[in-house]
Structure 1
Amino acid sequence: MALVGSYAPTGDTLNKVAELVRSSGGCAVIDGGFAVQLEHHGANVKTPLWTALCLTTNPELVTQVHRDYLEAGAQVVLTSSYQATLPGFESHGYTREQGREFLGRSVELAVKARDDFWSEYQERVRKGEVPPGQYSRALVAASIGSYGAYLADGSEYSGDYGPEMTLEKLKEFHRERLLVLADAGPDLIALETIPSYVEAQALVEILEEEDVQVPAWLSCISKDGKNVVRGDSIESCAELVERSNKVVAFGINCTPPSLCEGLISAARKVTSKPIVVYPNRGEEWDAEKKEWISSTGATDDDFVNYIDAWRRAGANLIGGCCQTTPGTVRAIAGALHPRLHLNSCSH
């Protein structure tokens, strides 16, 4: 099993991911799918804003989803901003300033949910209701999806944005949102479901040009187990992260679990940084209906059965993406930290 041991970026802030991995015995738990859990609580996410719609209409549901995953044992919770963009909010009739407020709200809701949960847990420990050490104080990662997520046409699953899309245009699209989220006070930034080297490059360059002080991870999506979906090798994207002082971990997300072991192994050959893996269930996305094709993915038991192989290949943070649930995350936490008995801590 590959551990993060040799990787220790300079500065207390940049050490957050490495310290979490170290304190978790080499592998920490990330949360799971946001949309599926919002739908479980009655939200409508079949709009171009997807989960970001609840930031404008039902923030209490966002808080509840964070709570669900914290109770399941997540040590990193991602904000509901994956598909939240300033032009996206504007297209729904909101001003740019309101859009900035909604982005900031995504971080505020996650931070408050984390802080409230942690305070309540500590109080329960103090009263002797539960033993200490079953939970750690989770980190909040501000989620930033790819340009294709904003388009809401499924193009993050292909990386095909057309010949007119350039590095500079991608930087222009991502820059303001990234800075707004960084300023809102997350522990981390999660650059997610990145389909191409050029979009990864755009995001890394923004972090460096703006001297962003919040550490980031960058995770890519693959369909063939060798390359990101636009055709660039997974190694080239991992090498980009390895060279960056601003990106502290490399990952794979929204990829079928059966493909992840090889991708982790390939990335581990070129980076010493922590590797993040949070696959979907292996289902297919229907962009026209804006839904996952059911009955094609892994069960929670199937999903968890991959974990040992992912750890041996070099994964240091493991969670779930689309269609995974708190049940999936609870199973992951149980597999990684079997002595925690998380069920005894749920309210």
Structure 2
Amino acid sequence: MSDALARLLAQRGTIVLDGAMATELEKRGVDTSGPLWSALAMRDAPGAIAEVHRSFFEAGADVATTNTYQANLDAYRRAGLSGPDAENLVRQAVRLARRARDEHEAATGRRGLVAGSVGPYGAYLADGSEYTGAYTLSEAGFRDFHRPRLRLLVEAGVDVLALETMPQGPELRALLGLLADQAPGVPAWLSLSVRDDGGALRDGTPLEDVAAWAQACPQVRLLGANCTGVESATTALGRLAEATSLPLIVYPNSGEDYDADTKTWSGDGNDEGLLAAALPAWKELGVRAAGGCCRTTPAQIRALAAAV
């Protein structure tokens, strides 16, 4: 597989990621309240997913992230879908992102990337565990969980794998070990779910350890943090910058705070310049890819793209 990520980084210097999928789907009338979150939208509202991808490309994003963060086969089977139907929904997510990318290129001449989202086992549990890392599987169990989705994303033609919101060390190590077997030659980025002080993974694993594991995996091209506040993400980037020579990636939340127990958000997420204002500090730390995570909007990505 050609390394489209490396080419884009060389061309652009800093690439702009997209923003939130679920809240943008909700604005289009899609129900994301169930345990599968937005993952059934590939079946129920594919047109809305395509619209969201297009909205972020139009805002200046260079990357469409597939709607597969929570779209794993175990979750689909738990929801009553057959194996073939579940596999097709993962492929559908990639098709929708690729179509939006190709349409944007045809209209503008700018070639974007499709990133295959791989969320943690905690997302499958649908209990906020990606914010705690408080779950346990054997290394073989983690690999068995992640293997089918990795295979489907690669077969469907993603340009890069987005291993994101990873909150704990054992799962992360198992997943990195799976890359060479299941996705040989496919570049990946690794983005972490960090504690509020930005100093460690949610389960307490030191970021220095994670940096060493990522540095040792030749497929990892970017390392960073997502799904947290701008301040804690920036602190984590500072720790990672001291521990690795890998370029960094960051995509924090909109400015609101999430309560994993009540599954509610609070605070002000209306600052359109939030991400753009943080960009100079991020670039000084070595960030080469920046965007938004939960509840971030096309307006925030547009401001970030203008700053880039």
Query: Normalising by the residue count of structure 1, what TM-score does the alignment of the two structures yield?
Result: 0.85
- Separation in 2, partners of 1:279, 1:197: 20
CA deviations over 1:183-226 (Å, ceiling 9, x no partner): 11011110110001211111111112335232111110112211
Q: Which residue of 1 aligns with 2:133?
A: 159
Kept in 2: contact 1:260–1:310 (CA 8 A): no
Matched, 1:262 2:235: yes
**What pairs with 1:1-347 in structure 2 (closer than 5 Å)?**
13-14=2-3, 16-24=4-12, 26-122=13-109, 136-162=110-136, 165-222=137-194, 223-287=196-260, 289-291=262-264, 293-297=265-269, 299-336=271-308
Give 5+ residue unaligned stretches, structure 2: none
Cα offset, 1:301, TM superposition: 2.1
What SS class does the counterpart of residue 39 from structure 2 fall into?
Answer: helix
Cα offset, 1:284, TM superposition: 2.7
Cα offset, 1:56, TM superposition: 1.3
Cα offset, 1:94, TM superposition: 0.6
Deviating runs (4+, > 4 A) in structure 1?
none
- Separation in 2, partners of 1:271, 1:255: 21
- Separation in 2, partners of 1:66, 1:311: 25
Cα offset, 1:256, TM superposition: 0.8
Kept in 1: contact 2:75–2:124 (CA 8 A): yes
CA deviations over 1:117-138 (Å, ceiling 9, x no partner): 211224xxxxxxxxxxxxx311
Change (3 A) 1:146 1:312: same
Aligned-residue identity in percent: 38
Give 5+ residue unaligned stretches, structure 1: 1-11, 123-135, 337-347
Q: Which has the higher contact order (CA 8 A, sep 6+)?
A: 1
- Separation in 2, partners of 1:244, 1:310: 24
Cα offset, 1:267, TM superposition: 1.3
Amino acid at match of 2:17: I
Q: What is the Cα-based RMSD across aligned positions, in Å?
A: 1.6
Kept in 2: contact 1:192–1:253 (CA 8 A): yes
Cα offset, 1:283, TM superposition: 2.7
- Of structures 1 and 2, the larger Rg is shown by 1
Aligned length: 307
What SS class does the counterpart of residue 40 from structure 2 fall into?
Answer: helix
Cα offset, 1:234, TM superposition: 1.4
